[in-house]
Structure formats: structure tokens, C-alpha cells
Amino acid sequence: MLDIKFIRENPDIVKNACAVKGFDDHTDEILALDVRVRELKTITQSKTAEKNKITREIPTATDKAPLIARSREIAAEIAADVAELANKEEELNDLLHRVPQIPAASAPRGRDDSENIEVRRVGIPRQFDFTPRAQWDLLEMNGWWKNDKIASICGTRTYALFGEAAELELAIQTYVLQKLISKGFTFVNCPSITKPQTIFNAGHFMGSDQSVMNNDVFMLADTDRCLAGTAEIILNSLHSGEVLNEKDLPIKYAGYSPCFRKEAGAAGRDTRGIVRIHQFNKVEQYIYCTPEQSDEMHEHLLNNLCEVMADLELPYRVIEACTGDMGFNKVKMHDVEAWFPSENAYRELGSCSSIGQFQSRRTNTRYRDKNGDLQFCATLNNTGIALPRALVPVIENHQNPDGSVNIPKCLQPLMGGRTKIGGKH
């Protein structure tokens, strides 16, 4: 969320952010409510002071009745003012949680993903001298999944990998974690069960009504818990309510967790295969830093994922999201997309986001700067790797005519030295 002081002093900037990001503009309502809230606070303070003065005068007054009557009258007025104040503060809080983050001046302006900008391409998509198989065919012919059986047991949009494909998935995850640890990230094995407020604090949903999450989040019946869709949710609240030291920033986490998403808004999309499913595993990069460090850390996170794409020997491209596609809480965002031969297209494997102080205001995560002043931290996140989605371009790009898959060199030590899996043995 944004600082109310910033909104007061920069209403045009806020209005523009709403416009270029495609969100409803509540700036004028917020400013009017802010005026009334401050007015009511002044009124209640003044009336409370008057009531306290009368209360002190009553014991020594010759005629106590008028003073008692006035005290009761003021008490009733204060009660009405306090009730209105609580109501207005609730309205203001809800609207403040509907104001989007201000996008970076450098972020491309646009309405939707059709106006995103390709920053660069790395690697050349492979020209096959045979007809490449799609992910599901490779999984099927090698006995690496039992799609129909798992669907009958667990329902649609679930998966289980068997044998060498399961080994390869684990090897990719392990490789990425080891890479991030070597770069100074602290590995955090995160829980997937959390409280709705923790999800709300990450700033992915607008307003103060947490029921808006119900279409996207698996709520655990008869509990006050739910399932998180990314380790970012937990990592974002790790330092809630704390005051960090500037000398300790940036703090870098590599969070791993099973992730759960309803994918309610994705009906009919990617119904085959292992790209869009209800449960998956993800390594998430997450950073706390000063606002001045944010741009450097954004490039750091982005480059880490690009290095992973290169290590996995995948053609990829980097996309800068326009304002209309970057989402509610982001200052800027880049997607990293790998080449999927079966679709003859690039598909997103990770999204690098600068959030500014938007999340830290919700979690009250601050640091003490060199002058001794308290400042809100900047936060950033990017995918480390998401599986099994990332497995798809690996097996499709490295497949052979017999259905076997060449293992990228970086993974071979984690696969017992094997250079190939699957195919005809």
C-alpha cells in the first residue's frame, strides 16, 4: 500500500498510476475521507479534553447538575464521533488497499500483455530433423506419468512423475537451490499452510475484504488457515514488525515450498500436460533491501534466472511488462520465457518483480538508516525455478528421435553421471 502522506501530496501521480495500470481511481474519495478522519480525531480530542475539564470541576462545584448534564451530553457526542471515526477509518483503510503501486517511470506504458516489450533473446530454437514430441507424449512413452490414473485418484489438474522424470525434476530443483546458496541466498524450506492475512500482506489482492481470495486460494475448511500459492507469501512476512539494520541489507532468501493454486481464472487453458496444475513445487528468490538498492537487486534476481535458463541449455527471451500487465503491487516486472517446441512459442518460466515499499508497509518491516531514521524496506521477488513447468522445455528441447532425453551438462552430476534418460533401452 502507499503512504497516505504521499497520496495527499501527489494525487496526480496516484491518479495516473490507476489509469496506466487499469485500476479504478479512488484518489478523490481517499482524500475526502482522510480530511474527515483527521477532522474527527481533532473533534474527539477537543471534546475529550472538555469533558475531562468538567469532570475535574464537578467535585468542587456548588451546582453540580449543569456540569453533570453537560458531561453526559459531551460523552454522547464523543461516542457518536468515535463511531463515525471507526466507520470512516474502515472505509479509508479499504480504499488505501485498492490503490496500486506507482510504476517506474521507465516501465513501458500499455494496456495489456500485447504491449509488453521484448528486451532480448538468448539462444536459437533447435531445428529438429524429426517431428518433436510434445511433453505428454514423452511422458507417456517413457512411463514417466500415469495421467488418467492420477486424475481418477486425485482429480483433474494434478500430476505425479515416475522414475527418471521424477529424478530429473528433483535434480533441477536441487541445482537451482545450490546455485542460489552459492550466491549468498539463505535457503528457507517454507510451509505451505498459512493464514489469510499473510497472503493479503503480500499485496496481491485489493481492498480489505479477504473473501476476494476465495476464487484463487484453497481455504482449509473449519480452520483459520489456507494454502499459499508461492513461498513469496511466507518470505514477505518473515520480518514483519521488525526493525532491521541497514548494514544487514540486502537480505536474500531462496524459499522452497509446494504451492497450491485454484487456477479458477484459467478454465480451458493448458488442460493437457504439466504446465498449469493445482499443486507444484517452486524455488522463490526474495530480497529485502533499501530503496536505493532496488534496481541493482532487480537485475541480480533477473540475471540469476537467466543464468539458470542458460545452464539448462534452453533458448529463452526476456520480456518487460507494460503497466497494464505488471499487476497491482509492482513497480516494474520482467518475465523470462523459455522456448516450448511443441507450441512453437515462448512460455513464461519466471517473473521478476520490484515491489518498492508496497509490501513492507503492510507488514511494517523497516530498517534504521545511517542517520538513525526508520524507513520501510524495499522488497523484490523472482522465480528461482517452478516445477514441473520448467521440466517441459527441458525434455522437449533435449529430446531425441527415440523419445530419450539428453540431460543438460549441469544436471549430470545430480543424475549419477547419466547423460541421457528414457527412450529405447
Helix 11-21 crosses helix 27-57 at what angle (to 10 degrees)?
A: 140
Select the CATH number that applies to the domain covering 4-96 from these four: 3.40.50.720, 1.10.287.40, 1.10.760.10, 3.90.550.10.
Answer: 1.10.287.40
pLDDT band at 267 (very low <50, low <70, confident <90, very high): low
List every span in the chain annotated with CATH 1.10.287.40. Answer: 4-96
Span 65-95, pLDDT tens digits:
999 999 999 999 999 999 999 999 999 999 9
Cα torsion angle, 53, 55, 60, 63, sign:
positive
Query: 126 catalytic, yes or no?
Result: no
Q: Identify the active-site residue in 261, 317, 362, 366.
A: 261
- Which residue, chain included where needed, has cell 500483455? 113
425: pLDDT strictly greater than 60: no
Q: Which of 246, 348, 368, 418 is catalytic?
A: 348
> Is the pLDDT higher at 204 or at 294?
294
The Cα–Cα gap between 395 and 414 comes to 16
pTM, two decimals, is: 0.92
Q: How many residues does the chain have?
A: 425
For the domain bounded by 113-421, which CATH number is listed?
Answer: 3.30.930.10
* Burial state string for 99-111 with b = 16 or more CB within 10 A and e = fewer than 16: bbbbbbeebbebe
Task: Indicate which residue of 237, 257, 294, 351 is catalytic.
Answer: 351
Which residue type does 415 have?
A: M
276: annotated active-site residue: yes
- Is a pLDDT exceeding 80 seen at residue 304? yes
CATH 3.30.930.10 domain extents, the chain: 113-421
The single residue of 276, 347, 368, 418 carrying the catalytic annotation is 276
Tell me, yes or no, if 157 is annotated catalytic. no
pLDDT > 70: what percent of the chain? Answer: 98
Question: Which of 133, 337, 389, 396 is the catalytic position?
Answer: 389
Q: How confident is the model at residue 273 (pLDDT cuts 50, 70, 90)?
A: confident
The question of whether 389 is a catalytic residue gets the answer: yes
